[in-house]
Structure 1
Amino acid sequence: MALTPANQDAFFREVDEELRAAQLKRAWRRYGVLIGALVVLALMALAGALYWQHRRAAALDARAEAFDGAIAALGDGREAPARAALGTLAADGSDTYAVAARLTQAGLAQSKGDLKAAAAQFRTIAADTNVPQPFRDLATIRGTAAEFDTLAPAQVIERLKPLAVAGGPWFGSAGEMTALAYLKMNQPAKAGPLFAALAKDKTLPETLRARAVRISGQLGVDGVAAAGEAG
């Protein structure tokens, strides 16, 4: 018996569905194990990432507590345990707490009057490319301050040149040391305008600006007017 058009459509749909079902069965037999393995691997990778993040967060929390404890110990006058904790933090890793511990160690040496050791430690941090740039810049400032009296003025100027920029985050300290270095080189024509620029920068501490006003005035530059413009 011949199929009517309606029956033909139903027949073709049925055949098409059976073909698709057969193709799916063949595909699952061929690739089902592989797909299952990939799903398991993806779940394992996700679990591993979540576990690693948890462990990392826990480790950072522990290091934060250790650093806070070391600073508290220093504040209480318990220097020996503070130094021990700082040493462990500084030696174990290159994260922020390791860098902060190294900076604190150098600061301790400076506070004890061991300027040579402090400057050497600050220089090591400043030269460490694994340390974030803001910390390296801070180490450059602190190290230069520690050995300012023993450095040649030209060395001070060259070292601080990238930081002694008006409007920059380190302009106060770097600009002042650079201006003083120019004075030591008997170059008041370069020192005066720099002191005036410091006096004009209202983001700087008032004590620094007051010094800049006084010295620039002695050098014949109107730092008072510059400070007034800034206000």
Structure 2
Amino acid sequence: MADIFNEIEQDLRHERFKRLWNRFGIYVIGLAVVVVAGVGGWRAWEAWKESHAKSGGDQFYAALQTAAAGDHKAAAAAMQKLADEKGGGYKILGQFRAASELAAGGDSAAAIAAFDAIASDGSVPILYRNLAHVRAGYLALAGADPKGAETRVSSLAVEGGPWRQPAREIMGLAAYAGGDLEAAQRYFQAIVSDPDGPSDAIDRARIMLAVIQSAMPAPAEHANDAS
């Protein structure tokens, strides 16, 4: 009986999400409101906006349902179709979700290529292009390509940069994978020392610092004492 109620509650949540997305999704993804002169033009704009938001919201919701069912390849195709057909903010949303679904489905090479395509698209705002570099960097690390990861995020690991913490984490992990313990230590220490760093990133950095410390050779004086 409890399972039935859980299913009903889940369906209600999905329906509420769909209604909210259809109503507000166009604003959430940043589609600009264009001021059209004249009453007739304004009404035409309002009608188009409502239709565009609803159809885009329906497509997005359907793609999410496909992903939830475990068909990541189909979900990626649906998200890419949303990006191609709707444009604007839906383009960015659809492209990111399409790449994420490719990764979730195990096709890391295609996912990296998709994120790289976003990162190289001059029409995409730089904030999102750099986020695409970060996502591709993590995937490159997971695919045992530390150099590829470094190449994508090295310019982002700067003081004050919005993506500095994940970029530092990627650079630190890449350095550790390549055996450069001192460089890895510097990157993870920078994460821990950042007063604005997220707590989960700091916790991971502290763990890595402990691992690195245990792997580093003992100082010369201690080595002599031991002998």
Alignment match, 2:131 = 138
Which of 157, 167, 176 pairs up with 2:169?
Answer: 176
Which of 183, 187, 191 pairs up with 1:190?
Answer: 183
Deviation string, structure 1 residues 138-189 (Cα, Å, up to 9, x no partner): 2111112112234352x43332123212443322221111112223343333
Report if aligned partners of 2:189, 2:205 keep a CA contact under 8 Å in 1.
yes
Which of 47, 50, 53 pairs up with 2:42?
Answer: 50
Aligned length: 177
Output aligned runs, 1:56-71, within 5 Å.
56-58=48-50, 59-71=52-64
For residues 40 and 121 of structure 2, the distance between their equivalents in structure 1, rounded to whole angstroms, comes to 32
Pick which of 85-94 and 107-116 moved more: 85-94
Question: What TM-score do you get using the length of structure 1 for normalisation?
Answer: 0.64
For residues 64 and 43 of structure 2, the distance between their equivalents in structure 1, rounded to whole angstroms, comes to 30
Cα drift, residue 112 of structure 1: 1.6
Which of 145, 150, 159 pairs up with 1:151?
Answer: 145
Cα drift, residue 205 of structure 1: 4.3
For residues 76 and 186 of structure 2, the distance between their equivalents in structure 1, rounded to whole angstroms, comes to 43
Q: Tell me the amino acid that sits aligned with residue 136 of structure 1.
A: R
Counterpart of 2:155 in 1: which secondary structure? coil
Cα drift, residue 127 of structure 1: 0.7
Report if aligned partners of 1:64, 1:97 keep a CA contact under 8 Å in 2.
no
Which of 87, 90, 100 pairs up with 2:83?
Answer: 90
Counterpart of 2:122 in 1: which secondary structure? coil
Q: Taking CA–CA contacts closer than 8 Å with sequence separation of 6 or more, which of the two structures ends up with the larger relative contact order?
A: 2
Identity, % of aligned positions? 26
Cα drift, residue 77 of structure 1: 4.5
Q: Tell me the amino acid that sits aligned with residue 92 of structure 1.
A: E
Cα drift, residue 49 of structure 1: 3.4
Report if aligned partners of 2:172, 2:184 keep a CA contact under 8 Å in 1.
yes
Q: Tell me the amino acid that sits aligned with residue 151 of structure 1.
A: D
Report if aligned partners of 1:166, 1:197 keep a CA contact under 8 Å in 2.
no
Counterpart of 1:158 in 2: which secondary structure? helix
Distance verdict in 2 for CA 1:191–1:61, change over 3 Å? same
Distance verdict in 2 for CA 1:55–1:134, change over 3 Å? farther
CA-based RMSD of the aligned residues comes to 2.9
Output aligned runs, 1:7-156, within 5 Å.
46-47=38-39, 49-58=41-50, 59-77=52-70, 82-83=75-76, 85-148=78-141, 149-153=143-147, 155-156=148-149
Distance verdict in 2 for CA 1:195–1:45, change over 3 Å? closer
Structure 2 stretches of 5 or more lacking a match?
1-35, 215-227
Structure 1 stretches of 5 or more lacking a match?
1-43, 222-231
Distance verdict in 2 for CA 1:196–1:84, change over 3 Å? closer
Distance verdict in 2 for CA 1:184–1:92, change over 3 Å? same
Distance verdict in 2 for CA 1:182–1:80, change over 3 Å? closer
Q: Tell me the amino acid that sits aligned with residue 206 of structure 1.
A: S
Deviation string, structure 1 residues 5-32 (Cα, Å, up to 9, x no partner): xxxxxxxxxxxxxxxxxxxxxxxxxxxx
Question: What TM-score do you get using the length of structure 2 for normalisation?
Answer: 0.65
Q: Tell me the amino acid that sits aligned with residue 64 of structure 2.
A: I
